[in-house]
Amino acid sequence: MSTIEQTTEKPGNGARAQDSIAVENPATGEIIGHVPNLSREQIEDRVRRARAAQPGWEALGFKGRARVMLAMRQWIVENRERVIETLVSESGKTYEDALLQEVLYSVHSLGFWAKKAERYLRDERIRPQSWLDFGKKLVLRYRPVGVVGVIGPWNYPIVNNFGDCIPALMAGNAVVLKPSSVTPFSSLLMAEGLKASGLPDDVFHVATGAGGAGGVLVDNCDMIMFTGSTETGRKVAEQAARRLIPVSLELGGKDPMIVLEDADLERAANAAVTYAFSNGGQTCISIERVYVHEKIYDEFVEKVTEKARQLRQGKPDGAGSVDIGAITFEDQMEVLERHVADAREKGARILTGGKRREGAGRFFEPTVLADVDHSMLIMTEETFGPTLPIMKVRDEAEAVRLANDSPYGLDSSVWSRNVARAEKVARQVQAGATCVNDALVNYFALGQPFGGVKESGLGARHGAKGIQKYCRTHSILVTRFGPRRDPNYLPYRKSRTRLLERLIAFQFGRGKARRSA
Ligand code: NDP
């Protein structure tokens, strides 16, 4: 049997031995368990079994599948303490980050897709557009692709892992999920929940393994949903292109917040602190940079700094114990330290935080930076941690120009009491999504497609697009009544050709005649 990756180089969370992966609690440094580092053959076997189970799952129909999803919702609610405990111990996130983001998203999503999948995937009747398809019945069908491979990251072990499996399953696919090797236990727990909820055997598998395990899914599945870094996303897309299978990618982000001079400063400052620091800032759509109008810059910076200084950070110990948890992945610490050091060297003021916390566990203090600009890495590269750099701008136009000066385009926000003005500014932002007077909550608006542009991704989750992507379309044209011979049938006859020619000239030549008249 060939193991896919045989190194033990990865320190801390996700350390890999030949056939097992150690999982660490980043808030304490303790190893909480091991999961198998599956071989290529073992993963291929799971895909094969999933493929064999898929037709039976599809045949259950929307209602049969919805029953399993609703039972799973109930299971998560009943087992939420265990789910939260698993999330907290493998990622170091707070109780509230686990409950209000991961658990809430999963139960909301299970109900949403159980209810909406049938509506989004029912046959669409297409109206004929001209005499060329007149009298035909035109239907567009959605069929499951077969086996969907979901490759997930470590920052949201449920939302961005199991979360994407829900619409894929509701569409009638079997799914093989490869969670990040850093946080695999939450996905294994979801598999246990699905089994207890009545999911037929082999419809859902979790393939634990190192990065190469993701590559085995790309080699064997019929479609890939990937969430993670832009660098790996590009590799996945290239590999998928060789097999001509579809991919949907949600990648890195550098989400801008634009605060105009007429914004509700108190709300904007509270939101900046919440959405830059919750989940330790390890959210693809967290606020990563702020542009504030010069008239209110000092007041905004002061408010934000004051609020950030009050946040409690440390080992999560139940509800309300801390506001900010640990840095899940060791490599992220190096990025944070490098970005903050670079900003400091280039003249930024560090108003609070700015360093790794002493003592046990892996923590980086919530950090507010002022007097930053685009010569600094912290304003241009994804930092993915609890940092909040705030830049002064002259006006709205400069804010938009700087917000768009980025290879990324995931989420974004614009803040002003003048909602019409803010919406106008929002429309100029180059991003897959923009909130006005809010941030991040659009991820919970499941009816609205969410996805990145530029280097932030391809495709979308949520809304009709978020489930139709797990299907191949099948267009059917039905001719119910027809003559024995249509005018274009072989063999060609001059008289019929002339008739068709006149028809073409009549239909398509009239506009020109009218214009020249
Ligand atoms: P990666 O993109 O490296 O990993 C994401 C997933 O892909 C993991 O399951 C990983 O497995 C897997 N993977 C790794 N290599 C391959 C490959 N060649 N083919 C298929 N799958 C592969 O992200 P990281 O978790 O290492 O995070 C790196 C950076 O990405 C972060 O610092 C952050 O900037 C960004 N990021 C963005 C996220 C987002 O939501 N947009 C989420 C997470 C990270 P394994 O974990 O076992 O290596």
Catalytic residue, chosen from 250, 288, 381, 455, is 250
Distance in Å from the first CA to the final CA of the chain? 78
Contacts of 57 (CB under 8 A, 6+ apart): 65, 169, 172, 173, 174, 200, 203
Please identify, by atom number, the ligand 1 atom nearest to the C-alpha of residue 182: 46
Residue 253 burial class via C-beta count within 10 angstroms: exposed 0-12, middle 13-18, buried 19 and up: buried
Binding site membership of 178 for ligand 1 (Cβ less than 6 Å) = yes
Residues of the chain with CATH 3.40.309.10: 255-444
Coil/strand/helix, residue 55: helix
Residues of the chain with CATH 3.40.605.10: 16-250
Cα separation, 82 vs 130, whole angstroms? 59
Provide the pLDDT for residue 16: 59
Confidence at 517, pLDDT banded by 50, 70, 90: very low
**Pocket residue to mutate for ligand 1, from 229, 250, 384, most atoms within 8 A of Cβ:** 229
Region of residue 347 (phi > 0: left; psi between -120 and 50: alpha; otherwise: beta): left
Question: Looking at the predicted structure, is the pLDDT value of residue 514 above 60?
Answer: no
In 92-159, alpha helices (H): 95-96, 104-121
pTM, whole model, 2 decimals? 0.95
pLDDT digits (tens, 9 = 90+) for 251-306: 999 999 999 999 999 999 999 999 999 999 999 999 999 999 999 999 999 999 99
Binding site membership of 284 for ligand 1 (Cβ less than 6 Å) = yes
Contacts of 338 (CB under 8 A, 6+ apart): 377
How far, CA to CA in Å, does 320 sit from each of 86, 95, 366?
17, 7, 18
Please identify, by atom number, the ligand 1 atom nearest to the C-alpha of residue 252: 41
Q: What order do you get walking across the sheet with 124-126 strand by strand? A: 124-126, 136-144, 471-479
Catalytic residue, chosen from 58, 96, 165, 284, is 284
- Which architecture characterizes domain 16-250 according to CATH? 3-Layer(aba) Sandwich (3.40)
Question: Looking at the predicted structure, is the pLDDT value of residue 3 above 50?
Answer: no
Cα separation, 454 vs 437, whole angstroms? 24
Please identify, by atom number, the ligand 1 atom nearest to the C-alpha of residue 253: 41
Residue 430 burial class via C-beta count within 10 angstroms: exposed 0-12, middle 13-18, buried 19 and up: middle
Residue 125 burial class via C-beta count within 10 angstroms: exposed 0-12, middle 13-18, buried 19 and up: exposed
Provide the pLDDT for residue 512: 57
Cα separation, 156 vs 264, whole angstroms? 31
Enclosing H/E stretch for 415: strand 413-415
Binding site membership of 443 for ligand 1 (Cβ less than 6 Å) = no
Provide the pLDDT for residue 1: 41
The reply to whether 165 belongs to the active site is no
Provide the pLDDT for residue 14: 65
Nearest CA to ligand 1 atom 48: 211
Confidence at 13, pLDDT banded by 50, 70, 90: low
Provide the pLDDT for residue 2: 44
Mean pLDDT for all residues in the chain: 95
Cα separation, 489 vs 235, whole angstroms? 48
Cβ distance 388 to 287 under 8 Å?
yes
Please report, to the nearest 10 degrees, the dihedral formed by the alpha carbons of residues 53, 55, 57, 63 taken in order: 180
Binding site membership of 91 for ligand 1 (Cβ less than 6 Å) = no
Cα separation, 270 vs 275, whole angstroms? 9
Cα separation, 138 vs 127, whole angstroms? 7
Binding site membership of 182 for ligand 1 (Cβ less than 6 Å) = yes
The reply to whether 250 belongs to the active site is yes
- C-alpha 230 to ligand 1 mean position (Å): 8
Nearest CA to ligand 1 atom 40: 284
- C-alpha 153 to ligand 1 mean position (Å): 5
Nearest CA to ligand 1 atom 35: 229
pLDDT digits (tens, 9 = 90+) for 165-192: 999 999 999 999 999 999 999 999 999 9
**Cis peptide bond prior to 491, omega within 30° of 0:** yes
Q: Tell me the residue ranges of DSSP E strands in 114-187.
A: 124-126, 136-144, 147-151, 174-178
Token look-up 């002061």 returns 302
Cα separation, 460 vs 465, whole angstroms? 6
- CATH code assigned to 255-444: 3.40.309.10
Cβ distance 283 to 440 under 8 Å?
yes
Cα separation, 494 vs 108, whole angstroms? 64
- C-alpha 229 to ligand 1 mean position (Å): 5
Q: Are strands 31-36 and 20-24 parallel, antiparallel or unpaired?
A: antiparallel
Question: Looking at the predicted structure, is the pLDDT value of residue 392 above 90?
Answer: yes
Provide the pLDDT for residue 300: 98
How far, CA to CA in Å, does 36 sit from each of 7, 8, 15, 90, 289?
14, 14, 12, 16, 39
**Pocket residue to mutate for ligand 1, from 232, 382, 384, most atoms within 8 A of Cβ:** 232
Contacts of 107 (CB under 8 A, 6+ apart): 73, 76, 77
Coil/strand/helix, residue 31: strand
Cα separation, 134 vs 514, whole angstroms? 25
